[in-house]
Amino acid sequence: MVEAYWPQAEPYRIKVVEPIQLLSREGREKALERAGLNPFLLKSDEVYIDLLTDSGTGAMSDNQWAGMMSGDESYAGSRNYYNLARAVEDIFGYPFFLPTHQGRGAENVLFPLLIEPGNYVPGNMHFDTTRAHIELAGGIGVNLVGEEAYDLSSEHPFKGDMDIPALIDFIEKKGPNSIAFILMTVTCNSGGGQPVSLGNMKRVQEVARKYDLPLFIDAARFAENAFFIKKREPGQEDRPIRTIIREFFQLADGFTLSAKKDGLVNIGGLIGLARSQEELLQKARERLVPLEGFITYGGMAGRDMEALARGLYEVLEEDYLAHRVGQVARLGQKLLDIGVPIQQPIGGHAVFVDGKTWLKHLPQEQFPSQALCIELYLESGVRAVEVGTILAGRDPQTGENIMPPLDLLRLTVPRRTYTDNHMDYVAAAFGKIGEKREKIRGVKMTYEPQILRHFTASFTRV
């Protein structure tokens, strides 16, 4: 069952439009051939509705654009920095913050200060760049999300929750001294945008306190997570979103944040630190200057800091969040209605289609979800992305293709960018594909890069 968050239409009206166009079928075929059947390599002008990612692809408000005009581009002490500092303290309750050019910049500054080579970083489920920065700092990322996260049809309301017994077990086994910090990702991006409950965060904090371990939040979708808490967690339904966020963040020692998601801006990032972390702040400042920029801009223009300071407030609006999460849920429900198997409950920022199940005539070695991405683009000009066997890559020891249990196609919805009509068009495209899905052919790679192959690989049909 899908919760109905969408009694209302879009809670905004449109002041500026960006034309998009659907190429002819022939044009799409040519474009995709040129791209080696890899939608990542399409030009955006060749795409009608782009659901590749929700990162940095959202629309800013008139108020944010007005803020862009009041950018103070002073090298040091820009007024927009102080506006952003006020917003961070007001919303998250953290007195210390540093701006960065995006989320991975925050990770790059902070993680080496927390990780000794060989240390573990347990979390619910780490995002790709986050894991990469843990590893670059010599650490080892460990995913301890609850088992429901791996069951596509489990209706568990908080599939991003940490498995508490597994966390305690892990700490006991490895010894607290070998653990750098605990990281909670909200919502759990790699787990499908699934939320983390406030109750689970409290239990993680108790574990962190018991073993004297720092607890950090990877906070890219902090507002969407708070919305799910309000809607799904018993006792939370009458609390304001801001109160939930405050309580959630008070449990941690700090956060890294990609502002390209719930910051409602196209580029930017943050490090936030609790009052107890003054020493860490000093060290982070020292790293920030050579890596990102001076402490009052950290890789962001003054105008971008202003847009972010305003975006952080806009994302808390409940009618915005209801429409945002509701738009994604609405798309998911339309797919369910026509028999397309998807991950449930539907996450906050994307619908994940179970390509392996829907195209069950294709063996996993023939990349069913990639084949579906290709068909979707040809049918409709919609760009999606495979999150499955291609993304998983090869085992570094054996060189064999890793066969992940899930082989999915992700439809990632940018914020405030497309209307429900666009989503209906996407669902209709799946309806058409459904009629002929047994005829869809699998693909194999004709060019396979050694690392991060999904971005630039080429394919041919088998």
Ligand X SMILES: *Cc1c(COP(=O)(O)O)cnc(C)c1O
Binding site for ligand X (CB under 6 A): 55, 102-104, 127, 129-130, 185, 189, 218, 220, 258, 260-261, 269
Q: Cβ contacts of residue 345 below 8 Å, gap of 6+? A: 2, 3, 155, 156, 157, 159, 194
User: For residues 217 and 219, what is the distance between their CA atoms, to the nearest angstrom?
Assistant: 5
Residue 420 is among the residues annotated as catalytic for this protein: no
Alpha helices for 233-382 (secondary structure H) = 241-250, 278-291, 302-314, 318-337, 355-358, 368-380
Q: Where are the beta strands (DSSP E) in 112-222?
A: 120-123, 140-143, 182-185, 215-218
The minimum distance between CB 257 and ligand X, in angstroms, equals: 8
**Residue 57 backbone phi and psi in degrees, to 5:** -105, 5
- List the catalytic residue out of 101, 159, 261, 334: 261
Alpha-carbon Rg of the chain, whole angstroms?
Answer: 22
The minimum distance between CB 271 and ligand X, in angstroms, equals: 12
Q: Cβ contacts of residue 12 below 8 Å, gap of 6+? A: 61, 416
Residue with tokens 């904090």: 205
The minimum distance between CB 212 and ligand X, in angstroms, equals: 25
Report helix, strand or coil for 452: coil
Residue 75 is among the residues annotated as catalytic for this protein: yes
118, 140 contact by CB (below 8 A)? yes
- List the catalytic residue out of 127, 181, 255, 418: 127
Residue 459 is among the residues annotated as catalytic for this protein: no
Residue 261 is among the residues annotated as catalytic for this protein: yes
Nearest Cα neighbor of 415 from 352, 323, 332 is: 323
- The residue (of 185 and 296) whose beta carbon lies closer to ligand X is 185
- The residue (of 349 and 437) whose beta carbon lies closer to ligand X is 349
User: For residues 100 and 258, what is the distance between their CA atoms, to the nearest angstrom?
Assistant: 9
Residue 127 is among the residues annotated as catalytic for this protein: yes
The minimum distance between CB 260 and ligand X, in angstroms, equals: 5
The minimum distance between CB 229 and ligand X, in angstroms, equals: 17
User: For residues 340 and 352, what is the distance between their CA atoms, to the nearest angstrom?
Assistant: 10
- Side-chain-side CA neighbours of residue 241 (13 Å): 20
- The residue (of 187 and 236) whose beta carbon lies closer to ligand X is 187
> For 13-16, which contacts have Cβ atoms below 8 Å and span 24 or more sequence positions?
15/62
- The residue (of 264 and 443) whose beta carbon lies closer to ligand X is 264
- List the catalytic residue out of 9, 66, 75, 395: 75
Give 141's strand partners. 121
- List the catalytic residue out of 128, 319, 337, 395: 128
The minimum distance between CB 262 and ligand X, in angstroms, equals: 10
- The residue (of 84 and 440) whose beta carbon lies closer to ligand X is 84
Residue 59 is among the residues annotated as catalytic for this protein: no
- List the catalytic residue out of 101, 334, 356, 454: 454
182, 217 contact by CB (below 8 A)? no
- The residue (of 130 and 296) whose beta carbon lies closer to ligand X is 130
The minimum distance between CB 368 and ligand X, in angstroms, equals: 25
Nearest Cα neighbor of 96 from 279, 344, 321 is: 279
User: For residues 335 and 353, what is the distance between their CA atoms, to the nearest angstrom?
Assistant: 9
- The residue (of 102 and 119) whose beta carbon lies closer to ligand X is 102
- List the catalytic residue out of 31, 85, 208, 220: 220
- List the catalytic residue out of 50, 161, 163, 218: 218
Residue type, 269: G
Give me the residue whose beta carbon is nearest to ligand X.
Answer: 103
Residue 220 is among the residues annotated as catalytic for this protein: yes
Catalytic residues: 75, 127-128, 218, 220, 261, 454
